[in-house]
Structure 1
């Protein structure tokens, strides 16, 4: 009898593991909220994509509501969202790009091909700033208020409906406060 029960242990363990993995794989990461909401944007000192001798720090974000977009030339979803980023820039939204785990050459070609909606493009080849932001993939975007506080986090590509329903209303709110 105990021998038969011992034969069931691996089956029970397997079933438990299967349920755990199934739940994890079906979890939508887009709904994941950043732990940084309401906190200061992380400190950084990074060169730009265009010029390795030009560096910026977090003071770049002071005084203006800014959408910080983490992207990479290697990222197909980043290509998909470029029309929305261009539209946001045309509507007066200040965008700062963070070129994440990339090369300058690939980033420059990407921007030359698809357009450059960014006021500044920071170069983060090692993913240091991305790590501090809790980025686990590109694209991810963070809306930062005039005081450098993160107010909104968007995971995945920005779609036209996100622009109208989520981003522009928040930009307007934080501009007015």
Structure 2
């Protein structure tokens, strides 16, 4: 695909990382885990990850927005809230990428205030150079430079989510 400058992580590499993360998560918890995927980007990663978690889990989803085009607005809005109560539960938030940290910082606080027993984050990717607020992500797949990435759930204007890899999008597409 000519819009993709280069492939960062193949499907095979991502699946192997999900195996590693799932094993670590399984070791760290006992009992039921509420796994919360952040729509829409986390869906492919979460689908692969939960197959590797050897615990009883419940899955739920939240849809939040803090972006307008390619830039963050700084304001987080919950578009779809959880169906399950978090009170007294161990909660694992699953995200595709940690960029500024604003969304995950906000969601972590919301879930803690609702009485969760614990709240941890698992993200496929993290971009530390873009961070505006500190986010403690216990489980991270890969650390990347400040590049615009798509695929494996991540998009540009709702396109490229279905790519079976993570690639760098050519600047000519979004500039």
TM over 0.5: no
Q: TM-score, normalised by structure 1?
A: 0.30
Q: Which has the higher strand share?
A: 2
TM normalised by structure 2 equals 0.31
Report 1 or 2 for greater relative contact order, CA contacts < 8 Å, sequence distance ≥ 6: 1
